[in-house]
Chains A and B, each alone.
Chain A
Amino acid sequence: MSSYLPCGVYMESYLADQRWWRTPFIKGKMIAMVILLAALPWLVDSQWLSVAYTINYYILAALGVQLLVGYCGQITLGHAAFVAVGGYCSAMMMLYINWPAWMISAGLVYPITIVCAGFAAAIWSVLFGLPSARVKGFYLIMTTMAAQWITVPLVITQYVSQIGGRGQSLSIDPKFIKVGPWTIDSDVKIYFFSVLLVALCLIAVGNLLRSKYGRAWIAIRDNDIAAETMGVNIVIYKLLAFFVAGFLAGVAGAFYISALFFVSPEHYEWFYSLLWVGIILIGGVGSLQGVVFGSMFVVVIFKLLEMSVLGASDALMESYPGLGWMTTKFIFFKEAAFGLAIIFFLIYEPNGLAYRYWQLKNYFNLWPFSYTGK
């Protein structure tokens, strides 16, 4: 869904039409965005910086969901399982491999584990994507849901977490969380690292989507039987989509370790699988911008909700001590609000935030004759 171009700008070839930066204005916009992202740590305090890298974590995780749901039409409700595999793979590698000292000091360990986590999660994801060769729609939802129930409460909580008898959560020695010469130990560094990862993944996925693979995925999404009759090997391409989505999930899981310094099964509950699908629905299905908008919307809304509920309960507690339950039950307010948000977006804004952004862009591109008939 590319927007209308300003008057007088036209493309002469497919190649020109598919370029990342089609007009100087877009280039300018991107440069402005890079400057804004680079300047962010000096504009906001550390509380909002942590919001920023949480947004980036959600973007990384929801990107895989977007690839599967929005571009390949394979609905997944178990993505947190693959994120968990990534997180645990990275953590276990850091804990149990005897890394030579020069690798630790050179900051190679963490990048290596991120890549391995990506591959581990990708393989796990392909395993549960196998039924997609035979089933689709609701039945595929069931198998991905089963992936969640098998992976997180059973395999990870009962077996992987028990290795070494450390209890449920595995803490990581901060000396491992080092990328090249930079030790990732402050909010600012976590933020820049997350921006780097998100930029890399978004560019990679964006490039994949304009290649042969992306076109095949979109054909499968639009009509899989038609795609098959046109010569697309749908089994291979579906599994490939699961592979790439799993890889992104693994990277997301491994990244989040740097923010937390530990992994614990409670970060990979079913809630998160649904949250990431909710993010792409809110942002817009079938749009990379949608992932970004959806993540920003959800995380910022949660943060504002937290501040308002906690602030309100603090203010009210002095005069009405009986209202202390509002603080303890905040998480349920959050869940109920998120549920309502999904429902209302689906009913009243089914194209998501990305569609509104598209309309806004067109308004300015076509100004002063902005009516596009939509």
Chain B
Amino acid sequence: MHMFLELLITGVMLGSIFALVALGWVLIYKCSGVLNLAMGELTLIGGYVCLGLYERFVTFMPLTYAFLLALLGTLLIGLILGLLTERIFLRKMIGEPILAVIMVTVGLSFFFKGMVFIIWDTDTQVFEPRVFPIDPVNIGGLTVGQVYIWGFVAALVLMVIFVCFFKYTRWGLSMQACADDEMAALSLGISAKFVYALAWGIAFMAAGVGGTLLGNINGLNYSVSVLGLLVLPVVVFGGLNSIPGAIVGGITIGILQNLTGGYLDRFFPGGIKEIAPFVFMVVFLLFKPYGLWGWERIERV
């Protein structure tokens, strides 16, 4: 029971990072209808950019400020990269068939991965000196690593900021309007191009923070992009166009991954932890193809 609770609580915390990345994914899908398979590479880029900035900043300022400043820089660079990506590659694909758009994001993922590994090497890199203290803390008898707690807090804060942004700001409202009914939004003077660009910018920012947090947990290497790819089971579980679905789905997949890692690893040694979400996704798709809160599509012939 003790082990179960420990796995559960780390799972929730890890899952909140997935939820953050999935939020970015859902946003792109809601606003522009693009199914993005490059999410793993976006997390990878974010992680490496933050690491690079952090290593520069930490030489001349205290650790906390250096990390916060690096995170801010990651957000800024993420926003710029997102706007550029949308402008250069995705804008030309508006209205193209689904396979073409998906394959453009696959092409993007190859391109980004290649560039990341050309610039930074494939060896595992860690945040040095460590940002979060290594010794775990005790919460009511359960030992949890500090990096998980800080990751959880950061992910929560960012999610709250994003949700407030959608609900209360002018730009957020225009994004909601565009997701709801693009034609009506266009006729009311909302620029769809601006909304698409904003969605990509925000997705890059969310993925960048997610990548930074994941990189703090295990170190940065290719496996971060595999973790970033876990957003796909998350969004399938929650429903492709549901923001609450992304959050609930992220936490569920985090818990599922940790529990299978903790309990099934001794029966199926090897990569069961990475595979379990995908197996779960296939089974789930057979019974509830539109996820928990996704819109069911009714087709006309």
Contact = CB atoms under 8 A, between A and B. Distances in A.
Interface residues of A, number: 47
Interface in A84-142: 128, 130-131, 134-135, 137-139, 141-142
Given A75-B99, A332-B114, A342-B110, A223 B301 contact: yes
Nearest to A154: B275
Interface string B270-301: 11101100110110011001000000000101
B110 A338 contact: yes
B114 A336 contact: yes
Nearest to A141: B102
Contacts of A180: none
Contact of B299 (A225, A329, A337): A225
Contacts of A75: 98-99, 102
A138 B35 contact: yes
Given A138-B240, A333-B114, A343-B89, A149 B275 contact: yes
Given A75-B99, A278-B103, A346-B100, A131 B282 contact: yes
B84 interface: no
Given A131-B282, A332-B115, 7 more contacts: A75-B102, A135-B285, A139-B236, A142-B233, A145-B232, A153-B271, A153-B274
Contacts of B268: 154, 158
B269 interface: yes
Interface in A298-348: 329, 332-343, 346-347
A323 to B, nearest CB: 13
A225 B268 CA distance: 41
A170 interface: no
A342 B106 contact: yes
B242 interface: no
B179 to A, nearest CB: 17
Q: Which 4 A-B pairs have the closest CB atoms?
A: A336-B114, A339-B110, A339-B111, A158-B270
B150 to A, nearest CB: 30
A229 interface: yes
B117 interface: yes
A369 to B, nearest CB: 33
Interface in A152-174: 153-154, 157-158
A23 B77 CA distance: 60
18 contacts: A128-B282, A134-B289, A146-B282, A149-B274, A149-B275, A153-B271, A285-B99, A332-B114, A334-B114, A335-B113, A336-B113, A338-B110, A339-B111, A342-B103, A342-B107, A346-B96, A346-B104, A347-B104
B176 to A, nearest CB: 22
Contacts of B289: 134-135, 139
Interface in B83-130: 89, 92-93, 96, 98-100, 102-104, 106-115, 117-118
Contacts of A128: 282
Nearest to A340: B111
Contact of A158 (B109, B240, B271): B271
B278 A332 contact: no
B118 A333 contact: yes
A69 interface: yes
A188 interface: no
Given A335-B110, A343-B111, A139 B285 contact: yes
A287 interface: no
Contacts of A69: 99
Contacts of B270: 154, 157-158
Nearest to A75: B99
A339 B38 CA distance: 11
A340 B114 CA distance: 10
Given A143-B282, A146-B282, A332 B92 contact: no
B236 A340 contact: no
Given A69-B99, A145-B232, A336-B114, A346 B107 contact: yes
Given A153-B274, A332-B113, A336-B110, A343 B104 contact: yes
Contact of B269 (A150, A158, A347): A158
Contacts of B269: 158
Nearest to B92: A347
Given A135-B289, A145-B232, A343-B89, A154 B103 contact: no
B240 to A, nearest CB: 7
Given A142-B236, A332-B113, A137 B98 contact: yes
A139 B29 CA distance: 14
A277 interface: yes
A273 B93 CA distance: 22
Nearest to A341: B107
A226 interface: yes
Contacts of A153: 271, 274-275
